[in-house]
Chains A and B, each alone.
Chain A
């Protein structure tokens, strides 16, 4: 079946730098896309989402970009902090309920 995947399994950045986490998806019929953050020992937590009719959405220190032409999604984190260290998952949702995840990217922030 169609799946959501990630370009890089790990990412290491310096504290204060910007981080960019990428994701490729294959279901062009997905309604919206979501980024989750998972810290050790916890379930994933929602960060930000974007509807398929948008190409950019900004939150607090985070921006999600959607490029439907190449089926690519990215999460940008500004001024990365040690508390941002976690595994980040992108997910795509179809028909507002069927939600599938990618394999995840581990972000490590170096002091």
Chain B
């Protein structure tokens, strides 16, 4: 079975904290994505990566950064968490031109 694993299902952090969300895939996929999902807004692309050490900004990169040091791992970093970053975060991976597989999501609450 293909698998995309996000390190946490639920996370509570304080305003101003540095937050790391980790995502690992075991399918040798080139592409990896980070989205946030908010009610009524669907999935919004934060960043994606099409290769190791490569990254591209999505629609809402402000306040976030990413790291892809190894092909299987794509990390999302909130440099200084704010309450408006409270959301569901979804990681996905895909081969180029093929369907994406999603993790279960991390529900992040910033207090």
Contact = CB atoms under 8 A, between A and B. Distances in A.
Contact of A99 (B30, B41, B94): B94
Interface of A: 1, 3, 9, 31-32, 34, 41-46, 49, 89, 91, 93, 96-104
Contact of A1 (B40, B56, B59): B59
Given A43-B90, A43-B105, A99-B45, A93 B97 contact: yes
Question: Quick one: which of B4, B43, B45, B56 has the most chain A CB within 10 A?
Answer: B43
Q: How large is the interface on B (under 10, 10 to 19, 20 to 34, 35 or more residues)?
A: 20 to 34
A93 B58 CA distance: 12
Contact of B102 (A3, A43, A100): A43
Contact of B42 (A43, A93, A98, A103): A103
A89 B41 CA distance: 11
Interface of B: 4, 30-31, 33, 35, 40-45, 48, 50, 56, 58-59, 90, 92, 94, 96-97, 99-105
Contact of A96 (B33, B56, B97, B101): B97
B48 A44 contact: no
B59 A44 contact: no
